[in-house]
A and B are shown apart, each in its own frame.
Chain A
């Protein structure tokens, strides 16, 4: 992008949406909230990574994965394992019967570090694993399922079963994974204490930065031919296949992309929250991640960010004052978003706020877009819901 066109993009309508989100996350929230609340917002934002992945995977390509928590967890556990090893120096764990291994291993009578923990001494390996492990698993699942044309409800059920398997495995293998408590008591990242307010603020901004990076990648994908093929695949899979595209390859790609986003989110979650446990990755957690995306509007990557923020903020708000009402609200949200607002917040925005906006932008529009060019059509499509072309399952 040339400099002038970049400037033009920033004052375009879409650019302003991104600027507004950036303003909210970088300026408004840090000024308005105390460090504790800001840390919580950071935690919600880590779920936005998963939600963006789901927009690409479910909203655009029509692949509903109920196992995104698996990838979130793999990313989170990778980071947690690195931090745990750093916290378990032989000096710090001198009272254990085997110094130098994580405390829960010692409690479970392990006398040496399991082989799959060894590489996590290295930070660069950990960074690689945060993205690599989820993507690898997604790739294997994707190859096995999509090349055999498993899709729709079957895919959803099987990903859910995978989430169940991973949770049972982690809880059952207490000595290797920390069991139901998860990996706790994480203190420093390369000698830098992550528990202070200052460190948490910095981590929050790193999280926002990564979020915009992911938004940028997602936007790149959705505005290219690649993104158009994904949407086409959702509407008319057979026609895309008959046009000569390898449908399975595109599905594997978008599933891996969603897994990578979820892994990054999980790693940031571990850093911001200071521990990782199976309760964040199981069946219930995984299906909740879908509602973040559905509330925001399943076709809008920006909507997904707002959806994740709103649902989680509501969840904390309810849990603080009326814990017994939250499941009712959540249940109603699931039903309402599906029955009444299938396009979520982005859909509502489009039908109620955009007409007002159009008046403001009218003058601009006449000058810059005399005919509907391809780019303009694509830009306009960012918020165009494709619900009417939702096809019945063919699997």
Chain B
């Protein structure tokens, strides 16, 4: 498949596709982080995660519209406010969903999967009724347009770079929260041994709710970032959900580093192969390789070692 390319051409193809892969990587990391902390903490698969992401995207869309009509002078900075709003709205909805639905189902993880799927259907149709079936996009502020030219064949779009920076900051933020804060200590205690954690006075139900809300909030940030590189439709979230699940499972359910590594591997493999094969075959091959590896190593790349 490399016939007919010189080595310099190949290098720049890899660089370009590598960068294109990086924006896919950013979306994967942002979505997978939220999913991974929920899954790692409670063993719950949130099928509506993609719809939470889209909620964040629509929040950003509405905020940009608001700034355009009422505060055009501050338009350059609307994104940061949108991101905070997206986080708060999604986290609040997440907490509500946890309280109404998820907490009744902790001992039946497969049923959670079905219930959250139902939730995702309802949310999708709600978006379709409110915003219409057509995809919407936001206007980028001036400073986010254009590209940085690195060599004559490689240039890097600024919005892609920006999304990547957000993804990495969120990843660092989650790391600090999980490993350098009192809350994180409690979360890890509950993950490792729930009865013992409860025994020393940790409110595990409260931790569950906070974690679910946090995961949904991060999905909201993912949605806000998503609007920077693509347009948003009612079912955009569903397009990513299977990939994201695989990222999480492939990375090892309770490992943040594993999640990031697997997001990187999957996005890079997919985007590099896309150049040489058709898009659909690239995806099929990537998914098949991931499924194959998971069959050999079901616990994922980096599994937390827990005595069972």
Contact = CB atoms under 8 A, between A and B. Distances in A.
Interface of A: 58, 62, 64, 66, 144-145, 148-150, 152-154, 156-158, 160-162, 164-165, 168-169, 171-172, 283-284, 287, 290-291, 294, 324, 327-328, 330-335, 337-339, 342, 390, 392-395
A154 B298 contact: yes
10 contacts: A144-B295, A154-B249, A156-B113, A161-B246, A165-B291, A335-B122, A338-B114, A338-B115, A342-B108, A395-B298
Contact of B281 (A172, A328, A330): A172
Interface residues of B, number: 43
A327 B242 contact: no
Contact of A158 (B119, B278, B291): B291
A35 B298 CA distance: 50
Highest count of chain A CB atoms <10 Å: which of B39, B120, B238, B295: B295
B285 to A, nearest CB: 9
B113 A64 contact: yes
Interface stretch (B124-132, B170-178, B181-189, B205-213): B124-132
Contacts of A324: 125, 128-129
B163 interface: no
A383 B87 CA distance: 46
Interface in B236-263: 238, 242, 245-246, 249
Interface in B260-308: 278, 280-281, 283-284, 287-288, 290-291, 294-295, 298, 308
B110 interface: yes
A214 B34 CA distance: 43
Contacts, number: 126
B107 interface: yes
B110 A152 contact: yes
A331 B109 contact: no
A392 B101 contact: no
A202 B295 CA distance: 44
B121 A327 contact: yes
A332 B117 CA distance: 10
B304 to A, nearest CB: 14
A242 to B, nearest CB: 15
Contacts of B198: none
Nearest to B111: A338
Given A152-B110, A165-B287, A334-B119, 7 more contacts: A154-B298, A158-B291, A161-B246, A172-B280, A331-B119, A334-B118, A338-B105
A164 B287 contact: yes
B246 A165 contact: no
A338 B294 contact: no
A158 B122 contact: no
B295 to A, nearest CB: 4
B284 A168 contact: yes
A132 B119 CA distance: 36
B85 interface: no
A154 B43 CA distance: 10
Contacts of B249: 154, 157-158
B134 interface: no
Given A156-B45, A161-B291, A283 B242 contact: yes
Contacts of B129: 324
Highest count of chain A CB atoms <10 Å: which of B112, B115, B117, B129: B117
Contacts of B283: 168
Contacts of A335: 101, 115, 118-119, 122
Contact of B278 (A145, A172, A339, A390): A172
Contacts of B280: 168-169, 171-172
Contact of A165 (B118, B119, B288): B288
B281 A156 contact: no
Interface string B37-62: 00100010100000000000000000
A214 B120 CA distance: 33
Nearest to B45: A153
Shortest 8 CB-CB contacts between residues of A and residues of B? A334-B118, A172-B280, A331-B122, A331-B121, A327-B125, A144-B295, A331-B118, A335-B118
A145 to B, nearest CB: 6
Contact of A287 (B104, B117, B284, B291): B117
B48 to A, nearest CB: 10
A387 to B, nearest CB: 9
Contact of A334 (B117, B278, B291): B117
Nearest to A291: B114
Contacts of B104: 339
A395 B45 CA distance: 14
A164 B113 contact: no
Contacts of B101: 335, 339
B107 A332 contact: no
A392 B76 CA distance: 50
A342 B111 contact: yes
B105 A332 contact: no
A153 B110 contact: yes
A157 B246 contact: yes
A148 B39 CA distance: 21
